[in-house]
């Protein structure tokens, strides 16, 4: 099974951290586990060249 990395940001644009997930893509409205163990809902997805900066699959804006 492959593991994919995603950068998480909050709705104000502040970086939360990088997570690893088994899903090759994550959609709006899906929940992800945050680095602190809580979860958040994906409210925006940045999968352009800037959103993939650092080798992540995408940058996900999450609402806790």
Q: What is d(CA 64, CA 58) in angstroms, rounded to the nearest whole number?
A: 18
Q: What is d(CA 13, CA 23) in angstroms, rounded to the nearest whole number?
A: 23
Instruction: Give the model's pLDDT for residue 32.
Output: 98
Instruction: Give the model's pLDDT for residue 1.
Output: 77
Instruction: Give the model's pLDDT for residue 64.
Output: 86
Contacts 24+ apart (CB under 8 A), 23-27: 24/57, 25/57, 25/58, 26/57, 26/58, 26/60
Q: What's the pTM value of the predicted model, to 2 decimals?
A: 0.94
Per-residue pLDDT of the chain (64 residues; tens, 9 = 90+): 799 999 999 999 999 999 999 999 999 999 999 999 999 999 999 999 999 999 999 999 999 8
């Amino acid at each position: 099974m492959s593991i994919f990395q995603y950068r998480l940001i909050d709705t104000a644009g502040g970086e939360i951290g990088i997570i690893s997930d088994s899903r090759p893509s994550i959609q709006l409205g899906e929940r992800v586990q945050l680095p602190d163990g809580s979860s958040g809902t994906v409210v925006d997805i940045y999968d352009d060249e800037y959103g993939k900066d650092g080798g992540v699959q995408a940058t996900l804006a999450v609402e806790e």
